[in-house]
Copies of this chain bind each other. A is one copy, B any other.
Amino acid sequence: MTESVDFLQINLLGTNESKLRFDKLKAAMANASIDCALICTNTNIYYLTGRVFRGYIFVSTDREEPVYFVRRPSTLRSTSGEKVVHIRKPEEIASALGAINAPIALELDSISYSEACRLAAATGMTAPAGNVSAALRAARAVKTPVELAKLRLSGERQSLVYEHIPHLYREGMTDIEFQIEIERASRLGGCLGQFRVAGREMELFMGNVITGENADTPSPYDFTMGGEGLDPSNPIGANGTIIKPGMPVMVDVNGNYTGYMTDMTRIYYCDNLADEAFKANELSAAICAELASMMLPGAKAADLYARALQMATDAGMADYFMGHRCHAGFVGHGIGIEVNEGPVLAPRSHDIIQKDNVIAVEPKFVIPHLGAVGIENTYIVGANGGQAITTARTEPVELD
Contact = CB atoms under 8 A, between A and B. Distances in A.
B113 A128 contact: yes
Contacts of A176: 187
A216 to B, nearest CB: 9
Contact of A113 (B116, B177, B194, B234): B116
B205 A54 contact: no
Given A54-B201, A205-B194, A233-B194, A72 B220 contact: yes
A333 to B, nearest CB: 17
A41 interface: yes
Contacts of A234: 52, 192-194, 259
A230 interface: yes
B220 A53 contact: yes
A33 interface: no
Interface stretch (A19-27, A94-102, A104-112, A243-251): A104-112
Nearest to A71: B220
Interface string A33-46: 00000001110001
A12 interface: yes
B177 A193 contact: no
A5 B220 contact: no
A196 B203 CA distance: 9
Contact of A233 (B52, B106, B131, B232): B52
A21 to B, nearest CB: 14
A247 to B, nearest CB: 18
A235 B108 contact: no
Given A112-B109, A188-B177, A192-B231, A219 B73 contact: yes
B108 A131 contact: no
Q: How many copies does the complex hold?
A: 2
Given A74-B218, A128-B113, A201 B42 contact: yes
A50 interface: yes
A258 interface: yes
A15 B4 CA distance: 61
Contacts of A106: 113
Given A110-B112, A110-B200, A113-B106, A72 B325 contact: no
B109 A72 contact: no
A73 B259 contact: no
B230 A192 contact: yes
A111 B108 contact: no
Interface in A296-341: 325-326, 337
A236 B51 CA distance: 12
B46 A3 contact: no
25 contacts: A5-B325, A41-B200, A46-B233, A52-B203, A55-B220, A73-B220, A73-B326, A74-B325, A74-B326, A75-B218, A106-B113, A109-B112, A110-B112, A111-B112, A112-B112, A113-B113, A113-B131, A180-B188, A184-B184, A192-B230, A192-B234, A193-B206, A194-B234, A196-B203, A233-B337
Given A46-B233, A53-B220, 15 more contacts: A50-B232, A52-B234, A54-B221, A72-B219, A72-B222, A111-B200, A112-B113, A112-B116, A113-B113, A180-B187, A192-B230, A193-B205, A232-B259, A233-B258, A233-B259
